[in-house]
Amino acid sequence: MKKLSLEELGRPSVEEFQNQEKHRVIVILDNVRSALNVGSFFRTCDAFAIEALWLTGITATPPNREIQKTAIGATESVTWKHFGTTLEAVQHAKDLGYYAIGIEQTTASKHLNEVNVNDRSMVLVFGNEVNGVSEEVFPLLDECWEIPQSGTKHSLNVSVCGGIVLWFCVQGLRKV
């Protein structure tokens, strides 16, 4: 057993990545405070061939030194854009026919291990590190998901949460 080199991993170039099939998932970062978390989401969206990353409100955008620290180049491959408000971004995704899911602990959230992905186009909203998903978008959400937890803390780090939810989604989706 030996480690694989980057060549042996056979990763696509940026151009190949942009032309290849993607999972029909749009990720919205709703006023995320830490640019390190934003960069980490770029890297995860690259790894899992996610269609697009939408950054709203105060969420930092490339080029940004802290994003680069954790994205290590994935800002070049992942399709992204910025919206002034999360409401505008979620509404735009809904207009395009995406099913809207908030990743949030609410009175009506489904546990991640009990939801069905159903191979549909989805927009996933991840909220601010302290305040979570903006309540103004709640009326637009089709459902909320939460990761069941049994620890002392309120929640997981948002980029760790993003990794888990996106890993879960791509298991149930074909790329198109």
Using CB under 8 A as the binding rule, whether residue 73 contacts its own copies is answered as: yes
157 burial level (CB within 10 Å; 0-12, 13-18, 19+): middle
Of 1 and 84, CB closest to its own copies:
1
Pick the binder of its own copies from 97, 120, 142, 167 (CB under 8 A): 167
Angle between helices 35-47 and 158-171 (to 10 degrees): 20
What sign for the dihedral angle of Cα 25, 30, 35, 36?
A: negative
Cβ 46 to its own copies shortest distance, Å: 3
Query: How far, in Å, CA of 124 to CA of 37, rounded?
Result: 16
Using CB under 8 A as the binding rule, whether residue 52 contacts its own copies is answered as: no
Cβ 109 to its own copies shortest distance, Å: 8
Number of residues that bind its own copies (CB under 8 A): 59
Using CB under 8 A as the binding rule, whether residue 116 contacts its own copies is answered as: no
Using CB under 8 A as the binding rule, whether residue 130 contacts its own copies is answered as: no
Under a CB-based contact definition with an 8 Å cutoff, are residues 54 and 80 in contact?
yes
Q: Which stretch binds its own copies (CB under 8 A): 54-62, 86-94, 115-123, 137-145?
A: 137-145
Nearest by Cα to 159 from 27, 65, 51? 27
Query: How far, in Å, CA of 147 to CA of 16, rounded?
Result: 33
- Copy the structure tokens of residue 60: 């930092």
Pick the binder of its own copies from 62, 125, 132, 137 (CB under 8 A): 132
Q: Given the rule CB under 8 A, which residues bind its own copies?
A: 1-4, 6, 9, 11-14, 17, 20, 36, 40, 43-49, 70, 72-74, 76-77, 104-108, 112-113, 132-133, 135, 138, 141, 144, 147, 149-157, 159-164, 167-168, 171
